[in-house]
Amino acid sequence: MSRVRFLLDENQSPRLRAALFRLAPTLDVLRAGDSPAPALGAPDVELLRYLEVTGRILVTSDRTTMPGHIQMHLQDGGHLWGIFWVRSGASVGRLAETLRLVWEATDASEWIGREDWIPF
CA atoms 73, 42, 2, 18: torsion sign: negative
Structure confidence at residue 40 (pLDDT)? 95
Query: What are the structural domain ranges in the chain?
Result: 5-118
pLDDT attached to residue 10: 95
| Separation between Cα atoms, residue 120 and residue 116, nearest integer Å | 8
Q: What is the predicted pLDDT for the residue at 1? A: 72
Domain 5-118 indexed as CATH 3.40.1000: no
Would you state the pLDDT for residue 33? 96
Query: What is the SS3 string spanning 15-77?
Result: HHHHHHHHHCCCCEEEECCCCCCCCCCCCHHHHHHHHHHHCCEEEECCCCCHHHHHHHHHHCC
Edge-to-edge order in the sheet of strand 83-86: 28-31, 5-8, 57-60, 83-86, 115-118
In tens, the pLDDT along 89-116 reads 999 999 999 999 999 999 999 999 999 9
Q: Give the DSSP letter of residue 13.
A: -
| Distance in angstroms (rounded) separating the CA atoms of residues 59 and 12 | 8
Q: What is the pLDDT of residue 101?
A: 97
pLDDT in tens, 39-81: 999 999 999 999 999 999 999 999 999 999 999 999 999 999 9
